[in-house]
Amino acid sequence: MTFCSALPDLTAITAASSAVYDILPPTPQYRWPLLEALLGTELWIKHENHTPTGAFKARTAAAYVADVIVRSPETPGFIAATRGNHGQAVTLAALRAGRSCTIVVPRGNCPEKNAAMRAQGATLVEYGDDFQAAKDHARQLSVTEHLHMVPSYHPLIVAAVASYWLELFRAVPDIDVAYVGIGQGSGICAAIAAREALGLKTELIGVVSDHAPAYALSVAKGVAVDAPVSTKLADGLACRVPDPSSLAVIMAHNIAIRRVTDAQVADAMRHYFSATHNVVEGAGAAPLAAALADRAALKGRRVAVIACGGNVSSALFARILAGGEQ
């Protein structure tokens, strides 16, 4: 594998894609007339909410876990910190490989995501008040329990995530601009990797929650900035501390960042359901929310947004559909 600012090349992405497709098939990308009418231009939705775990993260651990087992076949198990989707991916890959899996989530995490991970076979540990606290605890447990910690960001993870970008870019030529949410950065960095590998000129726009602005502030200042998290809706974007590797890639490639409020995200979730009858969680709806905020500048352009996950609790989704924001 060769790297440019820690980015996998086409050979690495293709190899990682093979590991991904051992677990899941390619996901679809559709044009939905009502959403196009709302945005006022051609719009493609990449449906990563259609994976076996309901999110793009189903891809993330596939290549990483397979690589660890090849290099260290004695590895007894894996551990990860998550708000839900990454944990489901690690559990899926680890248990398919015959290894144990421990997942650490912050207290108050989405109960349905927790239930899904337990149902998959993970040992679930609840610790801390936010993702960063859960991540620090998982790192400690990885040492005391002799488990391999699966990071949220790693070149092999980026290569696996880039498989969906290859699907999109090859299925829909000449995308002018694509919007993708930023949690720990694997999605946007995978987009950059795939774009560079294919020699495309697509403008890439990262999307963060206005209530979790660490990446936006860091890009604006040119240096890593920690920021408090208060989003009640986009938990997949609830980053307090930017990952230094992904932040370096984002800044090296001059990626613009959009901030969206919980109210805008709630509107996007409602639009997804009314226009497509798809359930899309807050983090998954954030790219559409950003595109809608930019609609005046998008006229005549071919736009793509990533519906990166659909794992929202039923109680929260009911409140959103009823017109609430959280």
Helix, strand, coil percentages for the chain (3-state, nearest 5):
50, 15, 35
Cα of 266 vs its chain's centroid, Å: 18
pLDDT, one tens digit per residue, over 131-172 is 889 999 999 999 999 999 999 889 999 999 999 999 999 999
* Residue 106: per-residue pLDDT: 93
Mean pLDDT, the chain, integer: 93
Closest CA to 169 of 4, 311, 14, 46: 46
β-sheet bridge partners, residue 45: 30, 305
For the chain, residues with pLDDT lower than 70 are 1-6, 325-326
* CA dist., res. 145 & res. 75, Å (int): 12
What are 21's two structure tokens?
Answer: 């497709």
> Among the CATH numbers 3.90.600.10, 3.40.50.1100, 3.20.19.10, 3.40.1390.20, which is that of 10-56+155-321?
3.40.50.1100
Half-sphere exposure of residue 64: CA atoms within 13 angstroms, side-chain side: 30
pLDDT on residue 83? 82
DSSP 150: P
In this prediction, residue 2 carries a pLDDT of 34
| Residue 6, pLDDT score | 66
Q: Please state which CATH number belongs to domain 58-149.
A: 3.40.50.1100
pLDDT score recorded for residue 112:
86
Q: What is the pLDDT of residues 209-259, one digit of tens each?
A: 999 999 999 999 999 999 999 999 998 899 899 999 999 999 999 999 999
Indicate the length of the chain as a whole number: 326
pLDDT at 326: 59
* pLDDT value, residue 4: 39
At residue 103, the pLDDT reads 97
pLDDT value of residue 180: 97
Pairing of β 100-105 and β 77-81: parallel
The pLDDT value given to residue 57:
87
Q: Do 193 and 185 touch, CB atoms closer than 8 A?
A: no
User: Which ranges in the chain are annotated with CATH 3.40.50.1100?
Assistant: 10-56+155-321, 58-149
Residue 131's pLDDT is 86
